[in-house]
Chain A
Amino acid sequence: MGDTPDEILIKGCQENDRASQQLLFEKYAQRMMNICLRYTNDVHDAEDLLQEGFIRVFTKIGSFKGGSSIGTWMTRVFINMAINKINRQKRKWQETEYNDSILSVADDDQMPEQVDGQLVLNTLKELPENYRVVLNMYAIDGLNHKEIADLLGISEGGSKSRLSRARVLLKERLKEKGLLG
């Protein structure tokens, strides 16, 4: 049943069929857990987010119109849930103005071809939340600045400057660890 087409699973979920819900969960749980782990920084928080996210998915799947793949739609739902969770904890995102000079500094740096990905991710987790989240959204989850700005309630300029700053900070940390020259 692992290769059941998404359309069938979606239909089943829309009809509140528990077996279809379980199949959809089994199919996408790893991918969603990846998101949860990157946004929460804590396994227990990530598990909570995974549960809340899937419950949200199953209760809102009736509104899924099929404009994108179910995976993409679920990714947005989970990122939304993660942002809401962080917002509840932090309450407010600090606005950082867009600054070209920061961006240019970041772009000038060179990335070695061979680098330990897990170490980079671990270093990413050490960044302040408002930078880490934007870097996750842009670099890994593929959102553009407008989408990020909408989700975080900041301006597009704020999203850009935060991304640039995040890159700079990450590279500085990697340099400190000797991962970058």
Chain B
Amino acid sequence: MAKEHNIFDDVLRQAAEGMEIPSVVGQWDAIAGGLDRRKRRRKMLIWGSVALPLLIIGSYFSCSLFTCDKQSIVEHDAVELFDPLFELPLNSDGSNKAVEEGSVATDSELPLVRDGGLRNSESFNRIPRSGEQIDQSVDVRNIESIDEVPVSDEVVSTDADGPVQGETDNQVPAEAPKEASIVETPSDDTNIALEKLPTNKSSSMNPGSGLLSGNLELGLSVSPGIASKIVSESDQFAWLINRNYKKSAGNESSAYSYQIDLYLNKYLGDKFYVGSGVRFVERAERVDYSYKIDELVTVRTSEQKLIYTPLAPALVREVSYSGLNRYQFIDVPLKFGYIASINSKIGWRTELGLSMSYLMGADVQKVHATTLELSDAAKLDLQRFNPGWNMQSGIIYPLGTRSSLTVDALYTMNLGSWRSAEQGILEKPYNYGLMLGWKYKFSGK
């Protein structure tokens, strides 16, 4: 649509062109400062987007832990209440062989019971002694109070049909004959119940089940390490690589990596577990480029070749750039682990897993394989989602009954290239490092 011509507009245009403009030189500093602030805000946004999910997950598991603690207190009380019954009689060496069929508790062994969970209980005298019998038909799992434990001073029948003559507490002989089996072995059902109930006596160094009790495990770890990569050429698109690419991009070297893991493991038995979680990964590479772009490259797709035309001297450009390329990822792993004891103090674990990582951000300047221009992440067409695998193996040092410190050697690697094959160059990054962590085990539902 042609614009109407108006002499009035011409006058205005000429007036605007001749308008006095105040100096703008001082404005550049403010603009440069604004650009820096914007860059910082972007970084904060990235970190915030990592911290927020971690905070939410952390809060969720904190709540879970709080709930689990309450449950474990109730269970623990119940065990304390029935310990004397189930473990009676204890021997002075701490073993409970006497509960085996055919064994007898003697008076000399009873004080151990007094030192147990019923130290202050008036029900102490109701604990079966040598010469007493308990009614097998009572299901101890239904007993809610020690007062309900059916103990008779005189006779406790073993079954409804055949009452057996017993003796009172006062009639217990000082040295009961051990061969006289008068303490009945609990029924099979009761045995099962006993086996299922955890006891405080369990102190074996099996990180999977003993000292570190529970079947769910929450862990947090930080893994400083080194980032590196395997570079190769795409079979299909290698023709797109500039003949000067290797010379131009030669100065790329390994730099740091680190990852922060928040994970949850579920034990499948004592030794095996599966786990997942979320991890933030930052990896960096050092680049030091110094080269000339003195050819114009034309891509001939039909012939699958590049045409090089020398640039006029005035158009030749020197590229000089040194810096760190940084990449940030969020990983969601799926891990399978095995855990075992080395000795009474230290455990050992090994994990193997797959992961899916999402490229959150990349502060990158790299040589484009075809044009040799310095290019950012968008121009390099870095893949946003990258599958990978990881392996770690290390030791566990328990700090108490539930928490422990972990030190692992860690190796993670992408399964594929994070640069699209269409660029001719394939890059498969990998990290290796030391994983330092803390984990806490708690009971699951």
A contact residues vs B (CB 8 Å cutoff):
8, 11, 14-16, 18, 21-22, 25-26, 29-30, 33-34, 37-38, 43, 47, 50-52, 54-55, 58-59, 62, 107, 109, 111, 115, 117-118, 120-121, 124, 135, 138-140, 142, 144-146, 167, 170-171
Contact = CB atoms under 8 A, between A and B. Distances in A.
Q: In the complex, which of the residues B9, B24, B373 has the most CB atoms of chain A within 10 Å of its own CB atom?
A: B24
B15 A111 contact: no
A139 B14 CA distance: 10
B8 interface: yes
Contact of B16 (A14, A25, A138, A140): A140
A47 B28 CA distance: 11
Given A15-B365, A22-B32, A29 B15 contact: no
Contacts of B375: 15
Given A51-B27, A139-B13, A59 B38 contact: yes
B12 A30 contact: no
B7 A111 contact: yes
Interface string B371-387: 00111101000000000
B368 to A, nearest CB: 11
A30 B27 contact: no
Contacts of B31: 25, 51, 54-55, 58
A47 B27 contact: yes
Contacts of B21: 30, 33-34, 37
Complex A-B, nearest 8 residue pairs according to Cβ-Cβ distance, in ascending order? A117-B15, A139-B9, A29-B24, A139-B12, A140-B16, A55-B34, A54-B31, A121-B15
Nearest to A124: B12
B361 to A, nearest CB: 14
A111 B8 contact: yes
Interface in B339-371: 365
Nearest to B13: A140
Nearest to A57: B31
B70 interface: no
Interface of B: 1, 3, 6-9, 11-16, 18-22, 24, 27-28, 30-32, 34-35, 38, 317, 365, 373-376, 378
23 contacts: A22-B32, A26-B28, A29-B27, A29-B28, A37-B19, A38-B16, A47-B27, A50-B27, A51-B34, A54-B27, A55-B35, A59-B38, A109-B8, A111-B11, A120-B11, A120-B15, A121-B12, A121-B15, A121-B19, A138-B3, A139-B9, A145-B1, A171-B8
Nearest to A142: B3
Contacts of A62: 378
A117 to B, nearest CB: 3
B14 A138 contact: no
A15 B376 contact: yes
Given A120-B12, A140-B12, 20 more contacts: A11-B373, A15-B365, A22-B32, A25-B31, A26-B28, A29-B27, A38-B19, A51-B30, A54-B31, A55-B34, A58-B31, A117-B19, A118-B19, A121-B12, A138-B9, A139-B9, A139-B12, A140-B9, A140-B16, A170-B8
Contacts of B35: 18, 21, 55, 58-59
Contacts of B374: 15
A37 B20 CA distance: 10
A139 B21 CA distance: 19
B18 to A, nearest CB: 6
Contacts of A16: 376
Nearest to A167: B8
Q: In the complex, which of the residues A34, A118, A135, A139 has the most CB atoms of chain B within 10 Å of its own CB atom?
A: A139
B28 A43 contact: no
A33 B24 contact: yes
B441 to A, nearest CB: 47
Contacts of B7: 111
B326 to A, nearest CB: 14
Nearest to A14: B376
Nearest to A18: B32
B15 A43 contact: no
Given A22-B28, A25-B28, A146 B12 contact: no
B6 A107 contact: yes
Nearest to B33: A51
